[in-house]
Each structure stands twice: as structure tokens, then as C-alpha cells.
A and B are shown apart, each in its own frame.
Chain A
């Protein structure tokens, strides 16, 4: 049973950096792309970016200048950093696993964690 669990501060001050970690259990982080997605309140899902175990990344062009993703294979974790946050970054953040190998979809998701940007 593959499980993903997001963790990190629920409150971040404006202009600071949002940091989240996703811990994966039941699967090796070494064989897939790993994804961050967010949903601001009352809005739709937004793909933030993805990272492979090798460290290869792709980011949403609208967030690319502020996003950094990393992976720690020894801990089976991957992380998201979003810099210079504003109230517009307040959202529920999800981590997920991407199935590639010709299919390209997200099969396992975390439960999501709410991050509020406020002073």
C-alpha cells in the first residue's frame, strides 16, 4: 500500500519561504516522478512541478522562478520550497506520484496540508 504524507509549517509569513516535505511509504522513491500540486481555497488544482529520483525537475512556468524541489532517497522523501510567498500562495498542498511509462497520470496522493500565508 503506497502512502504519501505531507508535512511542514501551516503558517508562513509573507515574503518568506514555504517548505514542505512528502514522506513516501510502500514504494521506492527511486523509480518514479514525484509531484507537488496545490489548490487555493475556492479555486482549481494547480500543478506546481515534478522531480525524479535523479534530481531532474520540471516546473510550472508561472512558478518556476520561485520553486525548488529536491529529493532525499535515503529517507524516501521529496521536498518543495516556494520563495517570496504572498497571500496568493495560501492553498492546500498535495504531493503525489506520477505514473509515466507511457501513461502520465497521478495514481497516489497525500491527504493534503493547508498552508496559510499571513503575518
Chain B
């Protein structure tokens, strides 16, 4: 299984909105609505920000939102804040009962 494709980097100014794409195949992203997104600060444990394409766990700010169309999922951060600067990874459950992560996106707040 190949890693899901994400842009290497995305940047934005405070208050702006950014979107990170996550492209897979009909065997993973396109197969189910089991796409999740993780925020990762080096040296810390990853934190789930979105699950099941568009659901936010308790405690995650509502400026984080997710969507999916076909084989591509997206994470949008609205009202970008300095604390949102981190690496972001998508993940998808697959038709072979495994998981695959995205290649990761570094978000920079200008």
C-alpha cells in the first residue's frame, strides 16, 4: 500500500484559512468514511483533530474541519492561529483491514 499524498507544506497568515489535501485510492480514502487527521509536534504524541472525515473529538477547536470527495479528503483550518503550526497527517482505513498514513504536511503560520 502506498502512502496517501499530501502537499509537503502549506502556509498562511494568522486569521487566514488553509486547506490540506489528502489523496488516496478507491481502496482507502474512497472506500470508506474512515479518514482521520492528526496534528504532530515533534517530540510529542500525535493528536487526533478529525475522525470519520469530518467529526471533531471533544476539545478540538471548531476552526478545524474536514471533508471528502471521491478519493481525496481535506482538512481546513479557519482563522489560523500561531499554535496551529505543526505537521499534519491524514490516515485512512483500507479495504484490507490495514491503515495508511499520508505523507505529511508542514503548516507554517507566517
Question: Mostly helix, strand, loop or mixed at chain A's interface?
Answer: strand
A residues less than 8 Å from B40 (CB atoms): 45
Q: Are B89 and A105 in contact (CB under 8 A)?
A: no
Q: Are A58 and B97 in contact (CB under 8 A)?
A: yes
Query: In the docked arrangement, what's the CA distance between A70 and B53, Å?
Result: 30
Q: How many residues of A contact B (CB 8 A)?
A: 25
- How far in angstroms is the closest Cβ of chain B from A25? 15
Q: How many residues of B contact A (CB 8 A)?
A: 28
A44 — nearest CB in chain B belongs to which residue? B104
B residues less than 8 Å from A59 (CB atoms): 98
Q: Are A94 and B89 in contact (CB under 8 A)?
A: no
Give the B-binding residues of A (Cβ under 8 A). Answer: 35, 37, 44-47, 49-50, 58-62, 94, 99, 102-107, 109-112
A-B pairs, top 6 by smallest CB distance, nearest first, are: A105-B36, A109-B45, A104-B34, A105-B51, A44-B104, A47-B99
Give the A-binding residues of B (Cβ under 8 A). Answer: 1, 3, 32, 34, 36, 38, 40, 44-48, 51-52, 55, 57, 89, 91, 93, 96-104
